[in-house]
Structure 1
Amino acid sequence: MLIEVIVQGAEDAKVAEEFGANRLELVMAMTEGGLTPSYGVIKDVVRAVSIPVHVMVRPHGYSFTYSEDDKRVILEDIKVCKELGAAGIVFGSLTENGEIDETFLKKVIETSDGMKITFHRAIDEAKDIIEAYKILQKYSDSIHTVLTSGGEPKALDGIENLKAMLALSHEKPSPVIMPGSGLSHNNIVELHQKLKATEYHFGSAVRVNGKFSEPINGNTIKTIRELIN
């Protein structure tokens, strides 16, 4: 069972690794929904741990539809992530019609040059989440994971879509469905019994007082690991 944890710096990263996280999503500005970290933070975190670090590549929190200027920035940030040794990137982009922006996605895949790609919760804002996932299945050689709450604010509310996406993922080579949003040690057993996913994503629920402004509580990660193994 793979547990991914959101981290914001090297201290977070070391604690998460020590207490059982298998992979880290490195993000800054969580009040904006999560944006690209600085060069220095990426370098610091990659050096601090031995588990994979996937870096959020998102220039602003306004939407998941990007201008040409935004796209240039995204591609440059991906190059920096690779240079600094990140194992992967976390990215998502939609057209103004709420569909996967395939044209830009192809450029992102080319620029990532072998790094792992997680397509993030932009998919939850697609006009048809199931069709959006079918599009991503075409790129399973490059997109390894889809982080999603099933099109709802919280994963427990998106169970039916998550089940449908997981079923699709078992039919042919596909990105792994990784449920996220609202997951905690209080509900992970219920969620796992319903979904039987192989990867889960945790954010504020593994922090002191459930706040991103507080440090990671390693014992909570340890508890989650014990509950689902």
Structure 2
Amino acid sequence: MSNRALLEVIALDAQDAVAAQAGGADRLELVTDMAADGLTPPLKTFAAIRAAVDIPLRVMLRAADGFAAGDVDGLVRDAEALRGEGAEEFVFGFLDETGGPDLVAVRAVASALAGCRWTFHRAIDRAASRDALRKELAGVPGLDTYLTAGSPLGVDDGLGVLVAEAGRRDEPGYEPRLLVGGGLALDHLPTLLGAGIDAVHIGGAARPGGWSAPVSSAAVAEWRDALDA
């Protein structure tokens, strides 16, 4: 089981979480407010999901739509409160006005996590330079994953970038795992898996009824089967 590709599914509540785990998800990304592309969920939502499933949970730390950090002290407080509730893995990522990583905000939040593992999310797809961002973030404690589509337009546009980056995993800044998400479709999987990319992230693809409908365990299972085939 340990060498199978990782399937991460966005969950908004415990119902989503149970369905995603039943369908074969390996990990959940917990967010609220998908109209703003996913913000920090309430503590009670985290607690309900943690009680409902036994797979790893990565919790979003994001206060507002966009890629600016905003209230860093508030993000740190949220991180500490979630850790106090038992959260062990997180998702965040902030850019400054130049399109580079907001190192002050990233380091402040990472410090509050005290070694917890975390994903730098799709802010990388809006960075002025993906390569420079990776090199600047190299060595920040806990960073083990980049959630990326390879392009702000989605995986269709970014596929070549993703394949190229997968081939650089021995270079400084490229060690974190590539977690591919953002307009991801089943027909992208052969190319990604062929390049050695072993982690994917789905949101809308797990909800045939749209974001107002719950996660479908059958939809998740379709992805699980495609990854395992």
Q: TM-score, normalised by structure 2?
A: 0.91
Q: In 2 relative to 1, CA 57–5 (structure 1 residues): closer, same or farther, beyond 3 Å?
A: same
How far the C-alpha of 1:194 sits from its partner, in A, is 5.2
- Contact 1:19–1:219 (CA under 8 A) maintained in structure 2: yes
Provide, for residues 196-223 of structure 1, a one-character-per-residue CA deviation record: whole Å limited to 9, x for no partner: 31110001011123x1111111112111
Describe how 1:54-203 pairs up with structure 2 within 5 A. Answer: 54-61=58-65, 63-67=66-70, 70-139=71-140, 141-171=141-171, 174-185=175-186, 187-193=187-193, 195-203=195-203
- Contact 2:69–2:94 (CA under 8 A) maintained in structure 1: yes
Aligned partner letter, 1:201: H
Identity of aligned residues (%): 32
Q: In 2 relative to 1, CA 193–199 (structure 1 residues): closer, same or farther, beyond 3 Å?
A: closer
Aligned partner letter, 1:88: E
How many residues of Structure 1 are paired with residues of Structure 2 in the alignment? 223
Aligned to 1:19: 23
- Between the aligned partners of 1:90 and 1:138, the Cα distance in structure 2 is 17
Aligned partner letter, 1:164: A
- Contact 1:136–1:175 (CA under 8 A) maintained in structure 2: no
Quick one: which of 42, 51, 54 aligns to 1:38? 42
- Contact 2:72–2:109 (CA under 8 A) maintained in structure 1: no
- Contact 1:129–1:151 (CA under 8 A) maintained in structure 2: no
The answer to whether residue 213 in structure 2 is matched with residue 214 in structure 1 is yes
The answer to whether residue 55 in structure 2 is matched with residue 51 in structure 1 is yes
When structure 1 is superposed on structure 2, of 145-154 and 129-138 the one drifting more is: 129-138
Quick one: which of 7, 14, 18 aligns to 2:11? 7
Q: Give the structure, 1 or 2, with the largest relative contact order (CA under 8 Å, sep 6 or more).
A: 2
How far the C-alpha of 1:193 sits from its partner, in A, is 4.6
- Between the aligned partners of 2:28 and 2:130, the Cα distance in structure 1 is 25
- Between the aligned partners of 1:45 and 1:193, the Cα distance in structure 2 is 30
Q: In 2 relative to 1, CA 149–189 (structure 1 residues): closer, same or farther, beyond 3 Å?
A: closer
Query: Is the partner of 1:24 in helix, strand or coil?
Result: strand
- Between the aligned partners of 1:219 and 1:16, the Cα distance in structure 2 is 9
When structure 1 is superposed on structure 2, of 21-30 and 213-222 the one drifting more is: 213-222
How far the C-alpha of 1:18 sits from its partner, in A, is 1.3
Q: TM-score, normalised by structure 1?
A: 0.91
Aligned partner letter, 1:136: L
- Contact 2:63–2:69 (CA under 8 A) maintained in structure 1: no
